[in-house]
Structure 1
Amino acid sequence: MLKIDLKDYVYSDCAVSHNLDNSLPECYRENAERTIERFNALQTLFGGFRLTSGYRCPIVNDLVGGVIHSKHMEALAVDFVPLETPPQLVLSFVKLLPCVTYAYTSNGYIHVSFS
């Protein structure tokens, strides 16, 4: 299992392919650090995840079809694919956590928004 860091969390294939700056604003740094810590803790429990989306600047969020008030733009959300555990099992557990405000699975990935 590979724990993610801030560089991983803000990386975006979409931003790279469109030559966009997806840098994290300083005002969201604490959110990002807390989200990364939570994500890594979940990975430890469930055997690893592949992060598919972390922080998104508003332009990237629009390009990927994100919702207008996406928590990705506040560094309070992750999308990921579980590597060793069925998505529904991970989702069932995640939904019980008090720090989770919204979670769902779609097309094999899981989205989690944190408070």
Structure 2
Amino acid sequence: MKEIKAIIRPSKLLDVTEELQKIDGLPGVTVSEIKGFGKSRGKNASDKVVYEMVEFIPRIQLEVVVNEDLVAEVVDVIQKYAHTGNTGDGKVFVSTVDEIVKIRTNERGPGAV
């Protein structure tokens, strides 16, 4: 199993999630509103938030856990529909998931997704 985390622009959330929902076998997506900054430190961003003298840029974090056979398709969808070509489009991270436990049933492994 793999966990895919993507940090994208808030304006791209609807485009990305609509396309992700079309992927057969996708178990679900977790969406979080986050703030942060990258290499440019948000100096030229129009949507920056200043918190205690540090400039942050609002972003969306998507998280999804999938079987390895879906990783390329999920990453391709995020890349295609989150892309604007401008600085700050975001990042996609893919990590290995060692264990999954479904809290309600105590089911473990891929079936717990």
User: Under a length normalisation based on structure 1, what TM-score does the superposition of the two structures give?
Assistant: 0.36
Structure with greater contact order relative to length (CA < 8 Å, sep ≥ 6) = 2
**Which has more helix, going by share of residues?**
1
**Which has more strand, going by share of residues?**
2
Which structure has the greater CA radius of gyration?
2
User: Under a length normalisation based on structure 2, what TM-score does the superposition of the two structures give?
Assistant: 0.37
